[in-house]
Homo-oligomer: A and B are copies of this chain.
């Protein structure tokens, strides 16, 4: 019997080239979050399914979650998203922790999806959340972090934009203005969420199928045609519902005095798929015509802690996945070359008796934080340089019979081809030569 060498459907093997890319992305994520004073956290891979049933939405539970019963009869799931875990953790500590609480994490998550571009079954997601911030300032800071990360990775406002909306506005038009019940509202959310991805004909059919009145349809079409915040404001003023625009208005006041102002656009179709959002919601969108998709999504959720019988502590956060981010960076050619590793020295011997001498020299150099690869078998001279090239080594070291007898090592700079003959015991001398690239 022979086993498959392929990874499980919708997941990835990360060979060093891919893993260096990922480490590059992850380190920028951590760095950015920490520049804003966010503290790292992590949680378990498994959670009880009940945690997601509460607020994540039925599509996730019914179609996408990896759930099973464990050997102790607990009904558990591999985390499909991080926010419920975070809410569970914040519920434990919010009473004794000064607000705002700022947390970030980069967990691996799984959803049972049909694998396609930008969508896999397993991905890693940068999660950044703030709890107990004054309203609008939380949303503002969270978006600042997303933008700071994108800029740190070399992106500009020519490459991406932030589309925002507010669920309060959507609730107001659906419930107060169109007069719909919760069930119809829920259906409309799903339709609005998909509206840009389907043809006008399909959209019409989906709306017709809800059975809402012609008058309601007219309002809905007006809503879907909003293309600026001014449209929103005048519509709700005419309807006598200007109150619902207040949060977004205050938020935009902050934005307009900041570096965020060149990134934000109002978009009525942004509503987010998860049930727990209650206020401002947003998505970061790639502007490139060949990769028009969301890289990041988030928003504010007021009541997630109540499922643990705790008082409301408002939260705002986003999730930004490694798959969509990598697609974005590739599309805009923002990625460095990760083909080769980066090493200081390839240390070789040409005399079998030099094994221990070579190993011990390597040990001493590593204690000085040099990245040293030893070649574990006697290596002929003509094979050394191609290998050093492949291993991204800046220098090669050679210990032949002559060097062994005189206790010396030949060190060669791979770039300048300059060669140095140094006593093996002069560790600092060797370090000096290598650092002076």
Q: Which residues of A contact B (CB under 8 A)?
A: 1-5, 7-9, 11-16, 19-20, 22-23, 34-37, 39-48, 50-51, 54, 66, 68, 70-72, 74, 76, 78, 85, 88-89, 91-93, 98, 100, 102-103, 108, 110, 112, 122, 133-134, 137-138, 140-141, 144, 148, 254, 257-259, 307-309, 341, 343, 355-356, 359-360, 363, 366, 369-374, 376-377, 387, 390-391
Contact = CB atoms under 8 A, between A and B. Distances in A.
A23 B26 CA distance: 13
Copies in the complex: 2
A35 B356 CA distance: 18
Contacts of A369: 35
A64 to B, nearest CB: 9
A265 to B, nearest CB: 21
Contacts of A122: 44-46
A91 B122 CA distance: 22
Contacts of A343: 37
Given A37-B371, A66-B70, A374-B141, A44 B360 contact: no
Contact of A37 (B5, B36, B372): B372
Contact of A16 (B40, B44, B100): B40
A258 B363 contact: yes
Contacts of A76: 8
A257 B13 contact: no
Contacts of A110: 45-46
A412 B23 CA distance: 36
A376 B259 contact: no
A373 B133 CA distance: 13
Contacts of A148: 363, 366
Contacts of A41: 13-16, 19
Nearest to A76: B8
Nearest to A51: B3
